[in-house]
């Protein structure tokens, strides 16, 4: 995964920083077992599959997989299979298909991409396997192709980052965006959310520079070095994930800037980034919470009990700023 990497992973107790569901609109669409057309089964003895999209090589993915596994153990689910697609989309598709073949009754998927799930849905719907997608949404029909989506609203994250950026820059100046990996809907939404909101709340802020840093620290650093060189008058840098922002901060230090000269806002909520706020280099960090386990299994249980569950379960993302960074750093991941 890439939208979030972070500093040193920690063993924060699961309770700290647990996901909170946004208070749902009562009108919002829900889904029941009956609507979905599945049959009830006992979650504890059921075969459950979890498909991870990217290597567990960064805090977000590590926390995400760990949360699913821990919660499954907590719930007494003994038959959990996990696969990892190593960022290869076709592999994720065949991983999931293979799990369906082997008779899983519930699927939790962290999709690598939002489109391209036709063949999986065809297979899953034939066997009526409910699919919960976490962290990225799939463009398909909820309660039909899949059960529900649990995750953050990426556009909203971009908007909130824009708000924080506007605040930090005093509504004027020039800002650069470090884009995530191209072709990723996380990138797309975090970009459009940010730009739309900036245009709305602070029309005097110009976005003068957009280059991809591929969600990686080193590339964030390299791109920032180049950009500081050719646009010395930049006042703000928006990193679409913490890693690139941390790379940017290293570049700022290398260019002889002082903390606060250039405002940095990013998304994820890793320890390193929150620490950067404490140190004065970053202005704000919008969290994207990876601890999907409890919510995913709670939703599944409700669903299997015949209760309605939301078709879009959007979690409340916290944010860190100069006011709360010091106190809340322990709940960063």
Partner 1 sequence: MSTETVAARPLADAAKIKAWLPKYGVYAAIVLLVVYNIFFTPYFATWSNLRIQLIQVAPIVIVALGMALVIGTEGIDLSVGSVMALAAAFIPLYLGYGVVAAILVALLAGVAVGLINGILVARVGLQPIVATLALFVGGRGLAVVISEGKLVDIRNQDFLYLGSGDLLGIPVLVWIAALLVLVVGFVVRRTVFGRRLLAIGGNRPAAELAGLPVKRVLITVYVACAVLASIAGLLSVARIQSSDASSVGLLIELSAITAVVVGGTPLTGGKVRVLGTVAGALLMQLVIATMIKHNLQPSTTEMVQAVIILIAVYVARERKTR
Partner 2 sequence: MTMGLASEPSAIVVEDVRKAERTDRIVGTIQRQGALAVLIVVVLIALATFPNFRSLDNAATILVAAAPPMLIALGMTFVIITGGIDLSVGSLYVLGGVLAAWASQYGILAAFLLPLAVCGAIGVANGLLVAYTRMAPFIVTLAALLGARGLMRAISSEGSNTYLVQNDAFRKLGNGSFLDIGYQVWLVAALVVIGMVVLTRSRFGSSVYAVGGSEDAASLMGVPVRRTKVWVYVLSGLLAGLAGAINAAKLGSGVTVLGTGMELDAIAAVVIGGTLLTGGAGTIAGTIAGVLLLGVIQNLINQVGNVNSNWQQVISGTFLALVVVAQTYLVRLRRVT
Residues that bind partner 2 (CB under 8 A): 52, 54-57, 80-84, 86-91, 93-95, 97-99, 101-103, 112-119, 122, 139, 181-185, 187-188, 212
C-alpha distance from residue 23 to each of 26, 27, 132, 151, 310 (Å): 9, 12, 19, 14, 11
Q: Do 151 and 184 touch, CB atoms closer than 8 A?
A: no
Candidate list 7, 143, 304, 314; residue touching partner 1; CB under 8 A: 7
- Chain residues 17-56 in contact with partner 1, contact rule CB under 8 A: 55-56
Candidate list 51, 152, 184, 212; residue touching partner 1; CB under 8 A: 212
Instruction: Give the per-residue contact string, 178-197, with partner 1 (x = CB under 8 A; - = no).
Output: ----x---------------
Candidate list 229, 305, 322, 327; residue touching partner 1; CB under 8 A: 229
Beta bridge partners of 320: 285
d(CA 181, CA 130): 30
Q: List the structure tokens of 174.
A: 């020039």
Q: How far is the CB of 230 from partner 1 (least distance, A)?
A: 4
Query: Any contact of residue 120 with partner 1 (CB under 8 A)?
Result: no
Instruction: Determine the straight-line distance between the first and last CA of the chain, rounded to whole angstroms.
Output: 15
Q: Which is nearer to partner 2, 101 or 323 (CB)?
A: 101
Q: Do 270 and 48 touch, CB atoms closer than 8 A?
A: no
Q: How far is the CB of 118 from partner 2 (least distance, A)?
A: 3
The one of partner 2, partner 1, none whose footprint includes residue 301, by CB under 5 to 8 A per kind, is none
Candidate list 43, 155, 202, 223; residue touching partner 1; CB under 8 A: 223
Residues that bind partner 1 (CB under 8 A): 5-9, 55-59, 61-62, 182, 208-212, 216-218, 221-223, 225-227, 229-230, 232, 243, 246-247, 250, 254-255, 272
């Amino acid at each position: 995964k890439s939208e979030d990497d972070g500093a040193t992973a920690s063993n924060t107790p699961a309770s700290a920083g647990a996901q909170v569901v946004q208070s749902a609109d009562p009108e919002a669409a829900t889904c029941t077992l009956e609507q979905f057309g599945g049959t009830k089964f006992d979650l504890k003895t059921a075969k459950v599959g979890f498909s991870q999209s990217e290597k567990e090589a960064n805090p977000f993915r590590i926390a995400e997989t760990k949360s699913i596994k821990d919660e499954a153990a907590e719930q007494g689910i003994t038959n959990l299979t996990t696969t990892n697609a190593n960022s290869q989309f076709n592999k994720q598709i065949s991983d999931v298909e293979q799990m369906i073949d082997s008779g899983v009754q519930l699927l939790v998927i962290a999709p690598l991409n939002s489109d391209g799930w036709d063949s999986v849905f065809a297979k899953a719907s034939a066997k009526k396997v409910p699919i919960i997608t976490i962290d990225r949404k799939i463009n398909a029909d909820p309660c039909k192709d899949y059960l529900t989506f649990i995750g953050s609203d990426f556009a909203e994250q971009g908007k909130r980052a824009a708000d924080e950026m506007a605040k930090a820059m005093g509504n004027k100046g020039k800002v650069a965006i470090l884009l995530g990996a191209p072709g990723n809907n996380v990138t797309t939404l975090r970009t459009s959310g940010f730009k739309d909101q900036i245009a709305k709340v602070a029309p005097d802020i110009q976005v003068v520079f957009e280059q991809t840093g591929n969600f990686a620290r080193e590339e964030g650093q390299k791109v920032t070095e180049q950009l500081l060189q050719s646009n010395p008058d930049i006042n703000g840098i928006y990193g679409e994930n913490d890693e690139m922002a941390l790379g940017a901060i290293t570049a700022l230090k290398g260019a002889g800037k002082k903390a606060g000269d250039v405002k940095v806002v990013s998304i994820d909520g890793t320890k390193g980034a929150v620490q950067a706020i404490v140190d004065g280099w970053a202005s704000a960090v919008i969290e994207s919470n990876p601890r999907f386990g409890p919510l995913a299994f709670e939703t599944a249980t409700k669903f299997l009990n015949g209760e309605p569950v939301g078709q879009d379960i959007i979690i409340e993302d916290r944010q860190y700023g100069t006011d709360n960074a010091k106190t809340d750093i322990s709940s960063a991941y």
